[in-house]
């Protein structure tokens, strides 16, 4: 049941929303060094996950262990030795938090966790009009709508957190995140969505 397995993967993917929440909490606790603390911790976790990926690729007993407990949610390329999505998500979160200011990191990571999940779930279950590869118009519209909703909430709460976000910045970020999810590029979409969207917003947002 590939649709069910994809749904399970994306429900798990939604759990990456913990990263932008962590940004808000850690930056509040450590205003000066929160970025370094959080990105450093996530980088260490990403390295540990990468070691697991290497063990999975090289040692059959470890691969059997992974198959037994996580086989239902791992894609074929992940089972055959490729880097797992969780490793890439954690690494992209560490990188995004390290290079972007707080508000942009929060929004970009929410684009990834919510927008990408919406695209996959709607595309798999309701997608009819094919665009690029397995991507569908319905999935891309779901991603864009979700990113715009995230943007509206971010704009609404900006004064409470001392953020400076503009409608144009968030609109461009939403569009870039949607296109980044749609197109097939060498970089994994779990990495390119927050990084490309964050970069676009940084270039537009003053300060």
d(CA 131, CA 30): 44
How many domains does the chain fold into? 1
What burial letters (b/e) apply to 147-181, b meaning 16+ CB within 10 Å?
bbebbeebbeebeeeebebeeebbebbbebbbbbb
Report the pLDDT value the prediction gives residue 86, as an integer from 0 to 100.
87
> What confidence score (pLDDT) does residue 1 get?
47
Nearest to 19 by CA among 42, 40, 37: 42
> Which structural domain, as residue segments, surrounds residue 127?
2-204
Environment class of residue 126 by beta-carbon count within 10 Å: exposed (0-12), middle (13-18) or buried (19+)? Answer: exposed
pLDDT, position 151 = 98
Write down the pLDDT at residue 83. 78
- The 10 Å CB-count burial string (b at 16+, else e) for 1-28 is eeeeebbebbeebeebeebbebbbebbe
Q: Could you state, in chain order, the average pLDDT of each consecutive group of 10 residues for the chain (207 residues)? A: 60 85 95 94 96 82 68 62 83 97 97 92 84 85 97 96 95 96 84 96 88
Q: Which residues contact 61 (CB under 8 A, 6 or more apart)?
A: none
pLDDT reported for residue 173? 98
103 and 161 in contact (C-beta within 8 Å)?
A: yes
* Residues 6 or more apart whose Cβ sits within 8 Å of residue 74: 66, 67, 84
């Amino acid at each position: 049941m590939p649709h069910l397995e994809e749904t399970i993967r994306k429900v798990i993917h939604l759990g990456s929303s913990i990263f932008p929440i962590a940004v808000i909490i850690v930056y509040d606790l450590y205003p000066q060094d929160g970025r370094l603390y959080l990105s450093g911790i996530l980088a260490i976790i990403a390295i540990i996950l990468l070691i697991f990926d290497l063990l999975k690729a090289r040692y059959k007993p470890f691969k059997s262990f992974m198959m037994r407990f996580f086989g239902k949610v791992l894609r074929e390329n992940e089972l055959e030795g490729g880097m797992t999505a969780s490793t890439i998500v954690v690494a992209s979160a560490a990188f995004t938090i390290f290079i972007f200011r707080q508000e942009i990191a929060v929004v970009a990571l929410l684009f990834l966790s919510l927008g990408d999940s919406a695209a996959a779930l709607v595309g798999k279950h309701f997608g009819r009009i094919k665009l690029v590869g397995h991507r569908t118009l319905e999935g891309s519209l779901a991603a864009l709508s979700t990113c715009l909703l995230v943007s509206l909430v971010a704009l609404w709460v900006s004064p409470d957190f001392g953020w400076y976000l503009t409608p144009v910045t968030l609109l461009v970020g939403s569009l870039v995140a949607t296109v980044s999810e749609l197109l097939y590029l060498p970089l994994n979409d779990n990495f390119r969505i927050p990084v490309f969207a964050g970069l676009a917003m940084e270039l537009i947002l003053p300060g």
